[in-house]
Amino acid sequence: MVAILPSHQRQGLGRIMMAALDAMALEHNVSRLDVHADPGAVGFYQKLGWSITAPAL
């Protein structure tokens, strides 16, 4: 589990972390990433261009 402490949220740290993850995925030819996000964080991922899919079983 990865999270930004509430005292450090809304400072762009999550965006920086996700940009680094995207770059690493591209570097390693990873075409799909799945995130099991807390419902309260779904909007954050959607703003970054991620989409909601059916949960993996």
Which residue range forms the structural domain that includes residue 39?
Answer: 12-47
Q: Beta-carbon neighbour count of residue 50 at 10 Å?
A: 15
Does residue 33 form part of some domain? yes
Alpha carbon of residue 23 to chain centroid: 12
Give the total number of structural domains in the chain. Answer: 1
Does residue 52 form part of some domain? no
Does residue 7 form part of some domain? no
Mean residue pLDDT across the chain: 90
Predicted structure pTM score:
0.75
Does residue 2 form part of some domain? no
Residue 44 reports pLDDT greater than 80: yes
Percent of the chain with pLDDT over 90: 60
